[in-house]
Amino acid sequence: MHPKYQSIDTPEYWDERYKTNEDTWTFNNYNPTFVHLLKSGFLNKDQKILIIGAGKGYDAVEAAKLGFDVTTIDFSTQANEFTRKLAAGADVNIKLINKDIFELNSLNTKYDLIYEYVTICSIIPERWGELLEKIDYALNAGGYFVTVLFPVNRHYEPPPFTVELKDFYNLAVKCWKLVYFQRDIPSIKPRKGNELLLIFKKSA
Residue 170 lies in a domain: yes
User: What percentage of the chain exceeds 90 in pLDDT?
Assistant: 88
Q: What is the model's pLDDT at position 3?
A: 52
Going by pLDDT thresholds of 50, 70 and 90, the confidence category of residue 53 is very high
Give 6-20 pLDDT, tens digit per residue.
688 899 999 999 999
Q: What is the model's pLDDT at position 10?
A: 93
Residue 36 lies in a domain: no
Give 106-137 pLDDT, tens digit per residue.
999 999 999 999 999 999 999 999 999 999 99
CA-to-CA distance for 95 and 72, rounded, in angstroms? 6
Task: CATH number of the domain at 114, please.
Answer: 3.40.50.150
Domain that holds residue 77: 47-201
CA-to-CA distance for 197 and 86, rounded, in angstroms? 26
Q: Which of 23-32, 57-66, 69-78, 160-169 has the lowest mean pLDDT?
A: 23-32
Q: Which of 19-23, 114-118, 145-149, 167-171 has the lowest mean pLDDT?
A: 19-23
Q: What is the model's pLDDT at position 155?
A: 78
Q: How many domains does the chain have?
A: 1
Q: What is the model's pLDDT at position 196?
A: 97
User: What percentage of the chain exceeds 70 in pLDDT?
Assistant: 97
- Do 26 and 57 contact (CB within 8 A), yes or no? no
- Do 104 and 73 contact (CB within 8 A), yes or no? yes
Residue 5 has pLDDT above 80, yes or no: no
Residue 110 lies in a domain: yes
Residue 151 lies in a domain: yes
